[in-house]
Amino acid sequence: MDCFYEAGNEDSILITLVTKAEFDELTNSSLDNVATWILSSNRSIQVGNHYLVPDAVGKLNQVVVIVDDNLSIWTIAGLPFSLPTGNYFLADTIPLEDREKLITGWGLGSYQFSKYKKKKGKDSARLSLDSDIDQTSVLAIIDSTCIVRDLINEPPNEMMPQHLSKATQELASKFDASFTEIVGDELIEDNYPLIHAIGRASEHQPRLLKLEWGDPKHPLLCVAGKGVCFDSGGLDIKSASGMRWMKKDMGGAAHALGLANYIMQTNLPVRLQVAIPAVENAISNNAYRPGDVIVSRSGISVEIDNTDAEGRLVLADAISELCDLKPDLLIDYATLTGAARVALGTEVGVFFSELDKTSHGLYSSAKASEDDIWRLPIHQGYKHQLKSNIADLVNCASSGYGGAITAALFLQAFVSDDCDWVHFDVMAYNMRSRPGRPKGGEAMGLRSVCQYLETRYSRK
């Protein structure tokens, strides 16, 4: 990220934050040059506005931002692309914890995906990376989020299973982690029948990607991510509008890699095992069909009701393998259901967990990191909807009501009873731009988990 610079630069410009009340008080008492200039600009003084204040010779000297009483990670996240390019620094009167938030937001707001544009956007303004903040975790959060965004924003023709494999390999080699993969027919030989069945119709072979890192003496953290590189729906083909954004259906895999990056970059004291089933849900003469029965890795047989409910199938094989390792914590991320979006909209991530302790821990980290997630129940009363006449389970419920819950119930059938398991069902995409959150691929439920892991594995 080129949005920060090391402090000590003479030419950098001060950013001060002033609440509306403070500004009113200032203008009621004695007017200094800055306040006089702001008032003379004839723009209303309101929260969110910023004012470019020149020095005596007309050169930009200070930026004044009118802010709320409570500073947010997003307070100045819109500035990197609205200020003139240059170097800025935050007033040191801003408390350390707030500066950490603001710097994080600045980093997230400096992101743009312009790889395929001839005319690149302008460079973002740069902010001083204060030496007194927790640079390691701030930079890791920004880097990890950008990894998630980049992977999702990549067009599907450039982000097929082999590309996801390359990205996983590159991440592994950056941190000396081990990488292995099981490709194509090897998935049959090694007993991953669901991953193979869903991915076999594509000319891009299905894969199970594995990344392993850390000291085996540390608690085992397992992370899985749905890596459906494009979801056409399969033979139960999606409508054009339903298919339009389905490049993001590998968003869960992107989150798993983003989280792995955070863990390795901050050297979290865990043993990490990542598993990503990477497939394209394509249509071909050898595509899996509605009515097929497939015996999963765990031995549970699944009758396919709808080939568009593919994410839970590929995750099932990955999750049951991870559970065999008896992890201290198992987290999966997936763009699993449209129903989760109907329930909470596109901007609040859904999570499921049977354990109140884990859920409450996640909630407090979510609040502190301003990451919008909400828990839904794994309501056992809906389990009957997954009954099949001829197999152990069907892959999707006959009614769409509570679809995010029935999908979670399906996954739960592959999770060991004693496993501390958290399942995220997220949009992984911003349908509109907000400060710090541009339209396109987005990490949702990532900051919460990073902060939660810091507490759980007691570094903070």
Task: Report, as residue numbers or ranges, the catalytic residues.
Answer: 238, 312
Does position 371 interact with Zn ion (CB under 5 A)? The reply is no
Kindly give the pairing relationship between strand 329-334 and strand 126-128: unpaired
Q: What are the E-state strand segments in 226-353? A: 227-231, 271-281, 293-295, 301-303, 329-334, 349-353
Q: How far apart are CA 96 and CA 451, in angstroms?
A: 17
Q: How far apart are CA 64 and CA 260, in angstroms?
A: 38
Does position 231 interact with Zn ion (CB under 5 A)? The reply is yes
**Which of 152, 125, 128, 119 lies closest to 439, judged by CA?**
152
Helical packing angle, 356-369 and 446-456, nearest 10°: 120
Could you tell me the smallest distance in angstroms from the CB atom of residue 307 to Zn ion?
A: 8
Q: Are 32 and 38 in contact (CB under 8 A)?
A: no
Give the tokens for residue 400.
């769409």
Q: How far apart are CA 229 and CA 247, in angstroms?
A: 6
Question: By C-beta, is 141 or 340 nearer to ligand BES?
Answer: 340
**Which of 410, 349, 400 lies closest to 379, judged by CA?**
410
Sheet hosting strand 393-394, strand order edge to edge: 293-295, 301-303, 393-394
Question: By C-beta, is 99 or 341 nearer to Zn ion?
Answer: 341
Q: Which does residue 448 touch among ligand BES, Zn ion, none (CB within 5 to 8 A, set by kind)?
A: none
Q: Which of 15, 53, 228, 313 binds Zn ion (CB under 5 A)?
A: 228
Could you tell me the smallest distance in angstroms from the CB atom of residue 340 to ligand BES?
A: 7
Does position 425 interact with Zn ion (CB under 5 A)? The reply is no
Candidates 182-190, 300-308, 355-363, 378-386; binding stretch for Zn ion (CB under 5 A): 300-308
Q: Which of 236, 308, 321, 371 binds Zn ion (CB under 5 A)?
A: 308
**Which of 324, 312, 308, 235 lies closest to 277, judged by CA?**
312
Candidates 99-107, 195-203, 229-237, 347-355; binding stretch for Zn ion (CB under 5 A): 229-237
Question: By C-beta, is 47 or 342 nearer to Zn ion?
Answer: 342
Interface positions with ligand BES (CB under 6 A): 231, 249, 306, 308-311, 335-339, 341, 396, 403, 427
Q: Which does residue 338 touch among Zn ion, ligand BES, none (CB within 5 to 8 A, set by kind)?
A: ligand BES
Q: Which does residue 64 touch among Zn ion, ligand BES, none (CB within 5 to 8 A, set by kind)?
A: none
Q: Which of 130, 150, 236, 249 binds Zn ion (CB under 5 A)?
A: 249
Give the tokens for residue 30.
């004695």
Could you tell me the smallest distance in angstroms from the CB atom of residue 276 to ligand BES?
A: 15
Give the tokens for residue 175.
């941190």
Q: Which does residue 100 touch among ligand BES, Zn ion, none (CB within 5 to 8 A, set by kind)?
A: none
Could you tell me the smallest distance in angstroms from the CB atom of residue 172 to ligand BES?
A: 26
Question: By C-beta, is 18 or 340 nearer to ligand BES?
Answer: 340
What SS3 state is found at 135?
helix
Residue with the CB atom nearest ligand BES in the bound state: 338
Could you tell me the smallest distance in angstroms from the CB atom of residue 248 to ligand BES?
A: 7
Give the tokens for residue 443.
């990490």
Question: By C-beta, is 103 or 246 nearer to ligand BES?
Answer: 246
Using alpha carbons only, how large is the chain's radius of gyration in Å? 24
Give the tokens for residue 113.
């995906």
Could you tell me the smallest distance in angstroms from the CB atom of residue 318 to ligand BES?
A: 15
Could you tell me the smallest distance in angstroms from the CB atom of residue 306 to ligand BES?
A: 4
Angle at Cα 373 formed by Cα 370 and Cα 379, nearest 5°? Answer: 160
**Which of 301, 275, 292 lies closest to 200, judged by CA?**
292
Q: Which of 227, 252, 258, 311 binds Zn ion (CB under 5 A)?
A: 311
| Residues forming the site for Zn ion (CB under 5 A) | 228, 231, 249, 308, 310-311
